[in-house]
Structures are given as structure tokens and as C-alpha cells.
Amino acid sequence: MKRYERLANQITELIERGDLPPGARIPSVRAACRAWGVSAATVFRAYYLLENRGLIKALPRSGYFVSATAKELPAQKSRASCSAGTKAVNISELVFDVLRTTKRAETIALGSAFMSPTLFPMARVGKSCATVNRSMDLATMVAGLPPGHEGLRQQISLRYLMAGMTVPVDEIIITSGALEALTLSVQLLTDPGDVIVIEKPTFYAALQAIQRLGLNVVEIPVDPVTGHDLEALARALQHHPVRACWFMTSFHNPTGVTLDDSRKQALVDLLASHDVPLIEDDVYSELHFGAAPTRPAKFFDRKGLVIHCGSFAKCLAPGYRVGWAAGGRFAGALEREKWMTTLSASVPAQRAIADYLEHGGYDRFLHKLRRELARQQSQMLDAIGRYFPANTRATRADGGYFTWVELPHYIDSVRLFQAALDSGISVAPGPIFSADGAFRQYVRLNYGYQWSPQLDKAVATLGALCADESRCGAKLAGPVRAP
Amino acid sequence: MKRYERLANQITELIERGDLPPGARIPSVRAACRAWGVSAATVFRAYYLLENRGLIKALPRSGYFVSATAKELPAQKSRASCSAGTKAVNISELVFDVLRTTKRAETIALGSAFMSPTLFPMARVGKSCATVNRSMDLATMVAGLPPGHEGLRQQISLRYLMAGMTVPVDEIIITSGALEALTLSVQLLTDPGDVIVIEKPTFYAALQAIQRLGLNVVEIPVDPVTGHDLEALARALQHHPVRACWFMTSFHNPTGVTLDDSRKQALVDLLASHDVPLIEDDVYSELHFGAAPTRPAKFFDRKGLVIHCGSFAKCLAPGYRVGWAAGGRFAGALEREKWMTTLSASVPAQRAIADYLEHGGYDRFLHKLRRELARQQSQMLDAIGRYFPANTRATRADGGYFTWVELPHYIDSVRLFQAALDSGISVAPGPIFSADGAFRQYVRLNYGYQWSPQLDKAVATLGALCADESRCGAKLAGPVRAP
């Protein structure tokens, strides 16, 4: 085979696989010559062959592009559907099934962890991004290195101040979202085989991190109304060499519950008496419905034992992936962990958020957002009351955008997840929130969407699916078992 | 103490600590009322007190700001200087000492891992960033979720094509720089206690990742001229249950050496015969001095065992933190690992790079950059020849911007690092590149800076420091020992 034919065949393969979609630009002849070390003639011949095959076309003064008619885009790969019935479901698979629904634009995402992007001031943040990133000099580039952009860290320190706390700029490490702050903290504080305390139910990423790091866990029950069981925690601390505790003390995911101040104080005191660090996930802190911010456990910390992890992903700019850890006595060590895993958070994103915080009207936006979320909460809970079986119980949180719904005992939430997805609706089934696949009669629903007839209809559909389940579900198939 | 006094004192503390620097904006009265749940009168009184203390001032129609005269900015914290002599040096500390020099703008950064930011097309990438990020809709936001921005992944696939390789878009996962691609890969492929093969000398982040994950290592010597010792690798594979291999086969950091094609083929075949995955760090691949790109080991992979990790951080836009893994048969699993650790890479950065790759003239830029780096290499090697002791040996790589310098045996590179820093020059001392603090007579020097009289003088200074060492170093103090 001639050289130009080989080249043409390689490109053909990419086009046929859809990697080069219709309209995509093909390298210029000059670039191609340089890249392959071939003559312009070889490239021309290859491109000519591709043109004859109808795969690319040359546009005068523009270059070569994949033809619109080259190939129908391959159909979206169909999700491996879990058939209902007795098939064993791998919990970890289930997490990814739920996560992937986030990318399906056509799904009504009641199972999503994000609120509606229409609620974010994306245009204003985009304006900040465009304004500050038009150029970048040496100082700016290195300024993004750990612990992170100085101006952004100052703004975060200021926000702590506004919530009544003094957190020095030095203590703040910018991360790629709160998730990285959390995982870096766990990595830092534990060695394989160590014991860590987590919640039950818990944020699924905690489970994954623990599995990855080879840790042993003690799970502390979280009551949807009263919160974390501190007596269980006291027992755990007495009987196990606990190295760290990973809790969400405000607007807990998935239950929505918030520990009251006296219990937060008790939690911090209890951990301090055993010298155990608290990794506090507080990503919904800005979304409080009350007039004053909810205090984090960090507020009560006197020993520097609380690593407070926050983010702008849930309340301002999800795609930017800018979060932080206020590391207490571990700040220096966390900074090193950051150097060694992903280096700095993206500098353009850090600069954009810093600029927005200073000039964008963040507080005005949050004020409005909180009212909207509170209204949407009422609308969601009303709809659940109208459409779900009588003995359904849904939590009413003081902030955030989740309600944790306890369904009648005969309903299996994994089967509901699958059935709902067939109707174009996602829910977050209870079993993704624990290591042992518990909470099969729970779902987490997201009310971070502006209320609409479609949303009302989606909740009605879920209610109807629950009713179906009550009529025939138990007869048709036993509950799906987690491994 | 009255409420307004407490509030004023909190803010005073932040100003005195420098957390709120001169000129920083203080929350508006309205925002402060809302945040603290206090009356406007309380805030006014607190701010009035602060004004009287001369700490803040009100600007009509603008708000409150920290006064320019409030406080001299606290002096930059002085780096804990390692005194020369017999003091034990912790190698890990040494890594951070070296890394932190990156943030010292006044230092001539021959020890840096980045080339000069003036060589990057930062204005053009900034333009892309500004243009594409002015707005962001739902589709864009979720499009950044793993595996990452589709258009960016297509552009990366296209670049593989231009290097003569077919890598499907599906195989490419966008990460926060190559460092995350590497650490995710190791996390994925190993459990605590497993054996992994690394290089000696090696990129220090590999050592950190291994320590963090509780792995055991077999180190394979890398010769500065011939590269990796494949016979040692064969023995390691025979005698140990190796789970993965982390190598840099082109423009190796720190030596600069590149395995030739036949040895890359042999490496891939050898690993394949043991079914051991290769994590290939190839961040300098675009910086080849020859006409054609250097082929990565990935090129020879037929079993999907090579995870090829690349980045735009070393050749286009350092602060953006956009890298990727071409995951072979592990692509799906890597995507999950990404979901669970930092979620997506920053969307504005992904979009900016994708736009630049399509419209910014990347190949033209690279073409120029490669020529400049090759010229700077000659200038650096000439200068080393002129100024360093006669029996110094420096590698001449086929790409990248590092030379690995073997100094006469009586010179201790850690002491040279410290002495050079006192003269405003950083070098990367050999011991940061191995677990046992070996390579004490080596330094890595960076020639990714446009040649200048200052640079020439810096190399002359280093040469003079080496000469000093030869005259009296050995007499004054024995070599500093690594722990």
C-alpha cells in the first residue's frame, strides 16, 4: 500500500467511527506534512482520495472538513439496561448508572446532584471569566499553584467572616471542587487498613474513596430528623483506633438533615477528646433557607482538628470546579498533598470566580436563590403529598435541594429507578448511599429545578409507578438483591 | 463587649493579619446585615469604629475598603532555610523546598519543571478562553463531565492521528493535568501492598503517589544515554507480582533520554507477555527537536495495556491544568475513577483549549517553540561547558527542556541547591528524583528560558559555586546525608 493510501485509510477509520464528525476540520496540508514528515504531494493525494470517497471536502481559503454526508453519526450507545427481576445489581455499577443520567439532557433529573443550571448566574460568571482571562502573565500563572490564587482565598476568608468565623487565608487551599478537598483530606489522614468513621446513609464518593484507599469503616447512623447518632460515635471512638471522621453536618446528603448548634459543639468536643480530625463536607452551606447562615462544626473547633471543605460548584458555577479546604492544623500537609496529586486548580477558573465574588453581586444572587429553592421545596413536597402513596415520608430540610423520601416498605427503589428512567425521569435510589446496599425503600429527589407542569407530571409519574409496584410488583418479582 | 465591637474586632484581626490587604472591599452594610443577622445600625457602628481606627474607609457610591495605610503588608514569610553542614535533610521536604522556589518570581528558576511562561501563547489562549466562555448553557456544563469535553477529545484524537496513531475519542479521558491522569491510573491498577515498577531516577510525584497508596516498588535504572534497563525489568517481572509499570519513554524527566523505537517495542512486548499495564507519562511529546514526532510506547501496543498520559501544561497553557489519559482497555475504569475523585476538569479551561486547538495555530506555535528550545539547549550546554568543572557531564536530549548534569564526585547537589538559592538561582538536586536520596552528584537544569546575560551569569555562578565546593567543601563539612 502506498504511503498516501495508508494515511487516507487512517483518516477514513476515524471518520467512520465518528471520531471525526461531519464538519470537523482536518489538519492543513502544511501541518500534515510536518506531522508525518511526508511531502505535500503525499498529503494532497491522500486528501484527494478522501474527497473522491466523499468523506472530506475542501472549502476555499478555509481548509479541509469532514463532509456533512460522510457518515451518519453512530447512534448513541444504548445504556446497558438492568432488566427488572432477580438480576444481581452491583451497587457500584448503580452509582455510575445514576451519574450517567446527568449527561442525558432529555431526562428530568430528579436523581441529579446538581440543581438546574438555569438557576446559576452563568452569564455573569462567564463575563468575569472572559474579562480576567484575556491575558495571563507569569505572576498569574504561578499564583494559581498551591495553595491557590491569593485573591480568591481572600474572598473565601471574607465569606467565613460574614458567617461569623475567622479563618485565615493561610489555612485555605484551593482544590478542584470540594470532592478533591475531601479525597485529599482522607488520603492525608489515613494509611491503608486504618479505620475511618463515615455516615450511613452517606455521599457515595466517600464509599469509593474508602474502597480505593483500602480503609475500614465504622458507619454512624444519620437520622433524617435528628441527625448523626453521637452516642454511636462515642462508642466507635472508644472501641476502634479511628483516624478520621467524614461528616456532613449541615443539609446532609442525602437526608437533608442539619445537626443543631449544641450537637455540633458536642460532636467537635467528642472528636477533640480523642484527638480525631473531622473532615467536614459543607458544600451546601450557602443554600440556607433561614436568615442567618448555618454554622459548620468548624465554628466550634478550638484545636484545628476540623478540615472544612467547601465549593462554588453547588451554589455558583458547577463546571468551574473550584472548591477549597480550610485545613486547620493540616493546612500545610494538605497543600503538599495537592502539589503531588493534581498540582493547581485551573487558573482561569480561579480567577473568574475571584473576580465574580468581588464584583458580581454574589450575595444578591444567593439571597434570591435561597428564596427560590425554599419555594421549590414546598412545591416538591406538596406534589409528593399529592401523588405518592399515603404512607410516604419526605424530609423538609432547612437548606440545600434534596429531600430523602421513605417509600412504603413494599417498594424497591432500584426497580423504581429503572422504571422511572424508562419514563425519562431519574431518581437517586437509596442503595447508592451505603456500602451494603441498604435503604432500598428510599429515594433522594432533587428540587433544585424551577417548578413546571413537566416537573409536576414527573412526580405524578413516579407516584403512579409506586402505585403499580404496590399492586403487582411484589407478585411479579421479588426485590432485587444487592450483592 | 457590644455586638458591634465584636464584629469590628473580627475584621481588625483579618486586616492585621494581612488577610484583608489594603484596598480590599469589605462587605456592604446590606450584605453584612444579612450575613450576621444584625441590624444595619450594628454594622454601621462596627464600620464607624473601624474607620476611626483608620483601618477602613468608605468611598462614596462604592462601599467600604481597607485603607491603604491600614497596615504594611506583613513581610513575605522567609523560607525555612536549610543551613549547610551536617543537618539531616528530609528528601520529601527537599521536594517541597524545590517546588516552592517556583513561586518566587525573583529566582532564576533553573530548577523549575516549567519552561518560561513567555514562551507560551498565553494571550492567544486567553483570547480563546474569553471568547468561548462568555456564556455557558446546560449542555456545555454537563459536557465537561467525565470523560470530558467532546470537542477537546476529538482534537486530541486528531493530534494522535497526526503523530501516526489511531486513538479513538472514546479512549480519551480529560483530567486536571497529566499528573492527575498518572495518579488516577496508579490508583486504579493497584491495591495497597502491591508491587509497581518505576524508574530510577524518576519524577518525584511517582514516589509520593506510591507512598500515599502504600505500594512496594521495584526501581529500574534509567541510563542517561541508553534509557531504561530492560533486562532489569525482565528480571523484576519474573521475580515479583508486578501490577503496573510507570515509565516515561520519551524525553525522560530528569535525564532527558528517549528509548529508541526498537526498545520501546521490546518494552511493550515484554510487559504484554506478563500482562502488565504500562502507565506512560508523555508530557513532553510535543517538544521534539527532530522533524517527526517521537513515537510513544503506546504506538506499539496491541493489547490495550498502555495508558498514555498527556497534557497541555508543558507545551501550551500551564495554568489551565488540562491533561488526559488515553486509557486503552482501562478507559472505562479510568472514567469512573475520575468521577469519584475530582469529577470533571474545569469546563472553561477545557473549552478554551479546544477552541485554541481548532483555531489558534497550535502547529505553527509548536514549530517555532521546538526551534527555540533546541537553540536554548545548545546555549545552556555551551555555558555549562564554559563554566562548570572540567569533569562535568550534561545530557543532550532530543526534546523537552531538561539536562541532567553529572557533577564531579566531590560536589553535593543538595548543598549546591542551598548555596544557589542564596544567590537567587534554583536548581533541582538529584536526590529529589529517587526514594533513597541517591544522585547526590546530579542536578537537573531547565533550559526552557530564552537565553540572556542574566542566564549566562546564573550558570557562571553555579559553576563558581561548584569550584568553591571543590576547594573547600569537602574540608568544611562532610556531605549532607539523606535519612
Q: How many A-B residue pairs are in contact by the CB < 8 A criterion?
A: 282
Instruction: Using alpha carbons, select from A102, A120, A106 the residue that is nearest to residue A373.
Output: A120
Per-residue pLDDT tens over the stretch A33-61 = 777 777 877 888 888 788 877 888 877 66
Predicted confidence at residue B201, as pLDDT, reads 96
| 8 Å CB contact of B129 and A127 | no
**How many whole angstroms separate alpha carbon B304 and alpha carbon B396?**
32
pLDDT at A86: 26
Of B122, B170, B346, the CB nearest to A321: B346
The per-residue pLDDT for B212 is 75
Query: Do B319 and A105 count as a contact with CB atoms less than 8 A apart?
Result: no
How much is the average pLDDT of B184-212? Answer: 89
Residue B138 in this model has a pLDDT that exceeds 80: no
The answer to whether the CB atoms of A214 and B192 lie below 8 A apart is: yes
pLDDT tens string A391-407? 999 999 999 999 999 99
Q: Is the pLDDT of residue A211 over 60?
A: yes
Instruction: Give the full edge-to-edge strand order of the sheet including B242-247.
Output: B172-175, B323-326, B306-311, B278-281, B242-247, B195-200, B216-223, B227-228
> Which of B12, B127, B176 has the highest number of chain A CBs within 10 A, making it the mutation to test binding with A?
B176
At residue A475, the pLDDT reads: 40
Residue B74, pLDDT above cutoff 60 = no
Judging contacts by C-beta atoms under 8 Å, the chain B residues touching residue A13 are 166
Minimum CA–CA partner of B288 in chain A: A35
Contact call for residues A411 and A439 (beta carbons, < 8 A): no
Identify the band that residue B472 occupies on the pLDDT scale cut at 50, 70 and 90: low
Min Cα distance B341 → chain A (Å) is 6
Q: Which pLDDT tens digit goes with each residue over B322-334?
A: 999 999 999 999 9
Residues of A in contact with B205 (CB under 8 A): 340
* Average pLDDT value for chain A: 86
Of the partner residues B96, B341, B358, the one whose CB lies closest to the CB of residue A339: B96
Q: Do A340 and B163 touch (CB under 8 A)?
A: no
- Cα–Cα nearest to A478, from A92, A90, A88, A81: A88
CB B95 within 8 A of CB B432: yes
Kindly determine whether residue B348 and residue A320, on different chains, have CB atoms separated by under 8 Å: yes
Q: Which residues contact B91 (CB under 8 A, 6 or more apart)?
A: B431, B432, B435, B437, B482, B483
pLDDT of B371 > 90? The answer is yes
For residues A285 and B35, the answer to whether their CB atoms sit within 8 Å is no
- Give the nearest partner residue to A134 out of B126, B293, B341, using CB atoms: B126
Residue-wise pLDDT for A88-98, tens only, equals 335 577 888 88
Select the more confidently predicted residue: B86 or A359. A359
Q: Spell out where B319-394 has E strands.
A: 323-326, 393-394
> Cα distance from B123 to chain A (closest Cα, Å)?
5
**Residues B18 and B73: beta-carbon distance below 8 Å:** yes
Task: Kindly indicate the confidence band of residue A70, based on its pLDDT and cuts at 50, 70 and 90.
Answer: low
A319/B346 touch (CB, cutoff 8 Å), yes or no = yes
**Residues A415-464 pLDDT 10s:** 999 999 999 999 999 999 988 889 999 999 999 999 999 999 999 999 99
Asked if the model's pLDDT at residue B75 lies above 70, the reply is no
Would you list the domain boundaries of chain B?
3-66, 91-119+364-476, 137-360
Check residue A91 and give its pLDDT: 54
pLDDT digits (tens, 9 = 90+) for B281-293: 999 999 999 988 9
CB B412 within 8 Å of CB B482 = no
| pLDDT category of residue A75 using cuts at 50, 70 and 90 | very low
- The alpha-carbon radius of gyration of chain B (Å, integer) is 26
Chain A residues near residue B143 by CB distance under 8 angstroms? 103
Q: What is the CATH number of domain B137-360?
A: 3.40.640.10
Residues B319, A136: C-beta atoms closer than 8 Å: yes
Q: Which residues contact B124 (CB under 8 A, 6 or more apart)?
A: B356, B360, B361, B365
User: Containing H/E element for A217?
Assistant: strand A216-223
| Nearest residue in B to A294, CA atom | B35
Chain Cα centroid distance, residue B103: 12
What are the CA-CA distances from residue A102 to residues A73, A105, A475, B138 (Å)? 22, 7, 32, 11
Report the topology of domain B91-119+364-476. Answer: Aspartate Aminotransferase, domain 1 (3.90.1150)
Structure confidence by residue, pLDDT tens digits, A326-352: 999 999 999 988 887 777 889 999 999
Q: What are the C-alpha distances in Å from A195 to residues A202, A241, A244, A246, B222?
A: 16, 6, 8, 11, 39
- Please give the CATH number for the structural domain made up of A3-66: 1.10.10.10
| Phi–psi pair at B234, nearest 5 degrees | -60, -45
- The mean pLDDT of B294-320, rounded to a whole number, is 95
Predicted local distance difference test score (pLDDT) of residue B312: 96
Q: Tell me, what's the pLDDT at A36?
A: 72
Chain B residues near residue A183 by CB distance under 8 angstroms: 341-342
| Average model confidence (pLDDT) across chain B | 86
Q: Minimal CA–CA distance to A397: which of A418, A381, A415, A417?
A: A381
∠B370-B373-B376 over CA atoms, to 5°?
150
Contacts of A321 in chain B (CB under 8 A): 176, 342-347
Which residues in chain B have Cβ-Cβ distances shorter than 8 Å to A325? none
| pLDDT bucket at A192, cuts 50 / 70 / 90 | confident
Nearest to B396 by CA among B445, B465, B462, B464: B445
Name the residue of chain B whose CA is nearest to A170's CA: B19
Cα separations (Å) of B374 from A421, B360, B379, B451?
Answer: 57, 23, 9, 12
* Nearest by CB: B319 against A141, A208, A363: A141
Return the top range by mean pLDDT from B109-113, B197-201, B432-436. B197-201
The grid coordinates listed for B3 are 455586638
Residue pLDDT, tens place only, B147-183? 999 999 999 999 998 888 889 999 999 999 999 999 9
Query: pLDDT tens-digit profile of B257-266?
Result: 999 999 999 9
pLDDT beyond 60 at B108: yes
% of chain B beyond a pLDDT of 70: 92
